Amino acid sequence: MARLDLLLLLLSFALTLAAGAAPHSTSTDFIKASCQATRYPALCIHCLTGYASSIQQSEQHLVQTSLTVSLSRARSAAAFVAKMAKIKGIKAPDYEAVEDCIENMGDTVDRLSQSVKELAHMGRRVGPDFLWHISNVQTWVSAALTDENTCVDGFRGRGMDGSLKSLIRRRIVRVAQVTSNALALVNRFASRHRSAAAATKKDP
């Protein structure tokens, strides 16, 4: 009898685990499928699968999370570059490039912050209201990506400190890749809603 009770308990535990794992697995599959629309799908999956339980299968939550991750990484990179400006004995060309990068990354952080707030304020809006908000998000995220690439371009000059250039470029390039992925997800989200709105207008 005791053995039967133990078997039933183990079976119940296994079913509970399976029930809990199924939604997470479905959410993870949703994230993996969505990330195929990005330029760096492996990085996209790596950044977002840890948030599967909150993303679930919501495209808006997916986009919101991708922007939040991009913002977090941009802030971290901006702080890193600011530290590099304080290195003793830094050469003039290097210092100028670092200062320009600090300004660009500051703009990146501001624009991504605006994007996160704008998307959060959208709620479940539809129609022209939605399109206006999502257009703002697209503009700001695109501008943030441009700022990041501008920072990277500033370290292409010859005669610059190789190790400093490598450290900063590697950090910013990674942020730019995450932002690129976020922009791709934003664009896909916007495109689907525009298509749905256009289809609704055609219906009699």
Query: pLDDT digits over 134-180, tens only?
Result: 999 999 999 999 999 999 988 876 566 678 888 899 999 999 999 99
What pLDDT was estimated at residue 124?
Answer: 63
Residue 158's CB: how many other CB atoms inside 10 A? Answer: 5
- Cβ–Cβ < 8 Å for 178, 68: no
What pLDDT was estimated at residue 18?
Answer: 41
- Cβ–Cβ < 8 Å for 143, 111: yes
Query: pLDDT digits over 36-69, tens only?
Result: 999 999 999 999 999 999 999 999 999 999 999 9
Single pTM value for the model: 0.82
Residue 7's Cα: distance from chain center in Å?
Answer: 45
Could you give the domains of the chain?
Answer: 2-202 (1.20.140.40)
Residue 39 CA to residue 197 CA, distance in Å, equals 27
Query: pLDDT digits over 71-98, tens only?
Result: 999 999 999 999 988 888 788 878 888 9
- Give the relative orientation of helices 2-35 and 41-48 as an angle to the nearest 10 degrees: 140
- Closest CA relative to residue 126, chosen from 189, 70, 181: 189
Residues shown for the chain = 204
Query: pLDDT digits over 5-45, tens only?
Result: 444 444 444 434 444 444 557 999 999 999 999 999 999 99
- Closest CA relative to residue 153, chosen from 104, 107, 84, 89: 104
Residue 87's CB: how many other CB atoms inside 10 A? Answer: 12
